[in-house]
């Protein structure tokens, strides 16, 4: 567990990327690059990722779960991220044809891919089959139908001599303590086959009857941003009898490990997560030789990323509150609006200063709900023109970004050893106009 720090203190160390350090001038740098300088050079809003942090987290995941562990690309994906996760020994989980295309364009061997999706189109299945995806996670009886048509002798969609390897996604009936929008293991869900009703057993027999299809194992995912590891132990306890009964060779527990977003939050580490999972598998007497895997997303990328904004207006409403408006908002980080998620904010020019003033950080979109931080503690000398940072924005920020109000998506940088490389350029008005017919 990471330590908890009071909210009015400077932003806590455990919310910053691993290579973050304070220069002799008192400013924050990441990967050897001064954040204010990066904002000046590349513009704002800007996502800055600590490459070393990303690599360390990937290595921790491989050390904890072995080489079958997949990075859940939905948390943050671009070609360079796919290359990085692959270089560090992870497989990659994709859940749409778009994610599949990016990962393939990055040159990741298709054998390393796990294809998800609760409503894969026939086209997406064909793309995954033709690429030779290592695993397809089958989610519904309709998908089994689609696969049976695609894999029928003569249908021509399955390349090469090896059978198509699939996992069956089961719903273990576990309610994790997290936001209902990211809770997925309960019975009442659009995902997967219920263990309790026997739907999962039925899916196994149908999949085993398909020629050219090899049922490799079972998959479940109980939710995201989970702090209480007992949810994973309950998930494992529900899955093992199923895996044992059907003599399956693989059991994937999905992702979901939570991260700390606020000074006073503390999250379990990857190793602590794996320890709980492994001991739950041992307690449930998983047969020897069954491959145990996982799919972390958020816990790989969240804390590696910081978003930099420029403060454009400060509006004081005496007796009410102070609004600090930045040049991004719900288009680059929809999580506060979607889930009521909290963030810290700080000034990279003085990360160690006390944050005595409480303000509402808002974006530039045309709605009152466009709030990034409801009640942010910031230094009292914050002023128009400052670069303001929100830490722990590496997961489900850029990945969920939109160009609402026709705001261009921000640029994304990887920084390491004093070098900054642009991995996604800033969207331009011309990019948006290119869609117009
Ligand atoms: N696997 C599946 C099937 C998911 O749906 C998700 C996220 O929703 C993940 C893995 C990654 O979860 P997280 O980012 O919480 O680790």
For residue 4, CA distances in Å to 20, 264, 266, 417 come to: 18, 4, 6, 29
Q: Which atom of ligand 1 is nearest to the CA of 258?
A: 15
CA-based nearest residue to 232, from 195, 178, 179? 178
Q: Yes or no: say if 401 and 335 are a contact pair by the CB < 8 Å rule.
A: no
pLDDT at 66 over 90: yes
pLDDT for the residue numbered 427: 97
Compute the distance between CA of residue 160 and CA of residue 215 in angstroms, rounded to an integer. Answer: 17
* pLDDT in the model for residue 157: 63
List ligand 1's pocket residues with C-beta within 6 A. Answer: 72, 74-75, 93, 116, 221, 224, 254-257, 295-299
| pLDDT confidence tier of residue 5, bands split at 50, 70 and 90 | confident
The minimum-distance atom of ligand 1 relative to the CA of 225 is: 15
- Whether the CB-CB separation of 27 and 35 falls below 8 Å is answered with yes
| Span 283-301, pLDDT tens digits | 999 999 999 999 999 999 9
In this structure, which long-range contacts are made by residues 367-372, counting pairs with CB atoms below 8 Å and at least 24 apart in sequence? 367/330, 369/330, 369/337, 370/329, 370/330, 370/337, 371/330, 371/336, 371/337, 372/326, 372/328, 372/329, 372/330, 372/333, 372/336, 372/343, 372/345
Q: What is the pLDDT of residue 126?
A: 93
366 is catalytic: yes
Give the number of the atom of ligand 1 that is nearest the alpha carbon of residue 169: 3
CA of residue 420 to ligand 1 center, whole Å: 29
Q: How far is the CA of 273 from the centre of ligand 1 (A)?
A: 15
pLDDT the model gives residue 408:
97
| Whether pLDDT at 55 is above 90 | yes
Q: How many Å lie between the centroid of ligand 1 and the Cα of residue 40?
A: 34
- Answer yes or no: pTM beyond 0.75: yes
Mutate to test the pocket of ligand 1, among 65, 69, 72, 393 (most ligand atoms within 8 A of CB): 72
Q: Taking residues 367-381, what's their average pLDDT?
A: 96
Contacts of 406 (CB under 8 A, 6+ apart): 429, 432
> What average pLDDT score do residues 126-138 get?
95
What is the per-residue pLDDT for 2? 54
- pLDDT recorded at residue 183: 64
CB 235 within 8 A of CB 152: no
Distance from Cα 95 to the centre of ligand 1, integer Å: 10
pLDDT at residue 134 in the model = 94
pLDDT in tens, 73-87: 999 999 999 999 999
> What ligand 1 atom has the least distance to the C-alpha of 299?
16
- Residue closest via CA to ligand 1's atom 5 equals 221
The pLDDT score that the predictor gives to residue 184 is 67
Protein residue whose Cα sits closest to atom 10 of ligand 1: 255
Q: Tell me, in angstroms, the distance from the centre of ligand 1 to residue 237's CA.
A: 19
The catalytic position among 78, 151, 251, 366 is 366
What does the pLDDT look like over 136-170, one tens digit per residue?
999 999 999 999 998 877 776 655 557 899 999 99
**Which of 175, 257, 188 lies closest to 222, judged by CA?**
175
Q: At what angle do helices 270-283 and 51-65 cross, to 10 degrees?
A: 10
pLDDT in tens, 174-213: 877 666 666 666 778 899 999 999 999 999 999 999 988 9
CA angle 184-113-295, nearest 5°?
A: 35
Calculate the CA 371 to chain-centre distance.
21
Could you give the CA distance from residue 116 to residue 320 in angstroms, rounded to a whole number?
Answer: 47
The pLDDT tens digits for 324-336 are 999 999 999 999 9
| Mean residue pLDDT across the chain | 94
């Amino acid at each position: 567990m990471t330590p908890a720090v009071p909210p009015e203190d400077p932003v806590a160390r455990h919310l910053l990327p691993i290579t973050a350090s304070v220069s002799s001038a008192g400013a924050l740098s990441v990967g050897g690059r001064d954040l204010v300088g990066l904002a000046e050079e590349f513009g704002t809003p800007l996502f800055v990722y600590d490459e070393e942090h990303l690599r360390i987290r990937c290595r921790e995941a491989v050390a904890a779960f072995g080489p079958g562990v997949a990075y859940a690309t939905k948390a943050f994906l671009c070609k360079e991220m796919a290359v990085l996760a692959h270089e560090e020994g992870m497989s990659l989980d994709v859940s749409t044809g778009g994610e599949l295309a990016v990962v393939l364009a990055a040159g990741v061997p298709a054998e390393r891919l796990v294809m998800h999706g609760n409503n894969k189109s026939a086209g997406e299945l064909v793309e995954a089959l033709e690429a030779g995806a290592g695993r397809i996670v089958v989610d519904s009886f309709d998908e089994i139908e689609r696969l049976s048509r695609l894999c029928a002798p003569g249908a021509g969609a399955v390349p090469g001599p090896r059978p198509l390897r699939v996992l069956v996604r089961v719903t273990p009936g576990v309610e994790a303590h997290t936001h209902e929008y990211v809770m997925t293991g309960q019975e009442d869900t659009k995902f997967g086959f219920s263990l309790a009703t026997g739907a999962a057993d039925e899916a196994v027999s149908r999949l085993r009857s398909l020629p050219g299809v090899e049922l490799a194992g079972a998959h479940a995912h109980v939710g995201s941003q989970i702090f209480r590891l007992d949810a994973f132990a309950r998930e494992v306890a529900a899955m093992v009898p199923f895996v044992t009964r059907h003599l399956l060779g693989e059991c994937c527990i999905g992702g979901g490990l939570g991260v700390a977003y606020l000074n006073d939050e503390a999250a379990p580490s990857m190793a602590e997560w794996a320890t709980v999972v492994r001991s739950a598998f041992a307690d449930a007497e998983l047969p020897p030789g069954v491959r145990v895997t996982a799919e972390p997303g958020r816990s790989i990328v969240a804390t590696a990323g910081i978003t930099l904004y420029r403060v454009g207006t400060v509006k004081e409403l005496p007796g009410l509150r102070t609004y600090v408006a930045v040049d991004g908002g719900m288009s680059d980080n929809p999580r506060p609006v979607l889930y009521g998620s909290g963030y810290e904010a700080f000034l990279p020019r003085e990360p160690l200063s006390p944050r005595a003033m409480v303000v509402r950080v808002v974006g530039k979109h045309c709605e009152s709900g466009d709030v990034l931080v409801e009640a942010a503690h910031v230094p009292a000398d914050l002023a128009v023109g400052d670069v303001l940072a929100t830490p722990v924005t590496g997961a489900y920020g850029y990945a969920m970004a939109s160009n609402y109000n026709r705001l261009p998506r921000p640029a994304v940088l990887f920084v390491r050893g004093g070098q900054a490389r642009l991995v996604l350029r800033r969207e331009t008005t011309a990019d948006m106009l290119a869609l117009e017919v």
